[in-house]
Amino acid sequence: MTEHGHWSPVKPVTLEVIKICLEVRPKIEEMVGTVFKIFIPVVYSSQVVEGMNYIVLVDVDGDGVCVHALIFQALPCYGGELSVTKIQYPKPFDVPFIS
C-alpha cells in the first residue's frame, strides 16, 4: 500500500484502472479535441489523498503516441465520482509522467 500523499511505483494497469480509464475516455477525448481510434491504458501510478489520484499512460495510436492522464476518484462517501484533472498530449511512450 502506498503511503498517504506519495506516488506508488509505476506498474502495469489493473482491471480496475482500465475500467476507470474507459469511463473517463470521453472527457479525455474532449480535452484533447479528438476521438481516438485506439485507447489502451498501459501503466499507471497511484496516490492516496482524500480519495485516489491515478496517473495513467494511455496508448492512443499504436505507434508510441500517448496521453498522460491525471484522474481523481473521490471517496465512496462522496460518491466515488471520477474527474480528469490534467492531461498531456501528445507524449512519447517513454517519457516520465506528468506531476
**pTM, full prediction:** 0.92
pLDDT score of 89 more than 80 = yes
What is the set of domains in the chain, with CATH numbers? Answer: 11-92 (3.10.450)
What does the pLDDT look like over 9-30, one tens digit per residue?
Answer: 999 999 999 999 999 999 999 9
> Is omega for the bond preceding 9 within 30 degrees of 0, making it cis?
no
pLDDT at residue number 5: 81
